[in-house]
């Protein structure tokens, strides 16, 4: 299992390799996933995914 500090080669590598991240991403609203997909190459860890999704859900970005 991956830990919070594992770095991946972008979002899709993260989702393929880390079940918790994939489950989290799958449960997000479509507008959040769309925004995350636009920055897929910049999201290389579970922490980055969770943090970015949280900021989108709160309307910060």
CA–CA separation, 58 and 44 (whole Å): 21
Domain assignment present for residue 50? The answer is yes
Number of domains observed in the structure of the chain = 1
Q: Is residue 49 a part of any domain in this protein? A: yes
Note the pLDDT tens digit of each residue in 6-45: 689 999 999 999 999 999 999 999 999 999 999 999 999 9
Say if 44 falls within a structural domain.
yes
**pTM of the predicted model, to two decimals?**
0.84
pLDDT at 1: 47
Q: Which residue range(s) make up the domain with 42?
A: 11-57
Distances (CA, A) of 32 to 1, 6, 22, 38: 25, 23, 14, 10
The string over 16-37, giving b where at least 16 C-beta atoms fall within 10 Å of a residue's C-beta and e elsewhere, is: eebeebeeebeebeeebeeebe
Average pLDDT, stretch 44-48? 95
Q: Is residue 1 part of a domain?
A: no
Domain presence at residue 6: no
CB 52 within 8 A of CB 36: yes
pLDDT band at 59, cuts 50/70/90? confident
pLDDT the model gives residue 60: 59
Average pLDDT for 37-59: 95
């Amino acid at each position: 299992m991956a830990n919070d500090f594992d770095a991946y080669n972008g979002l899709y590598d993260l989702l393929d390799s880390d079940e918790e991240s994939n489950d989290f991403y799958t449960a997000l609203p479509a507008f959040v996933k769309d925004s995350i997909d636009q920055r897929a190459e910049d999201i290389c860890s579970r922490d980055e995914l969770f943090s970015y999704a949280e900021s989108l859900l709160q309307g910060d970005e």
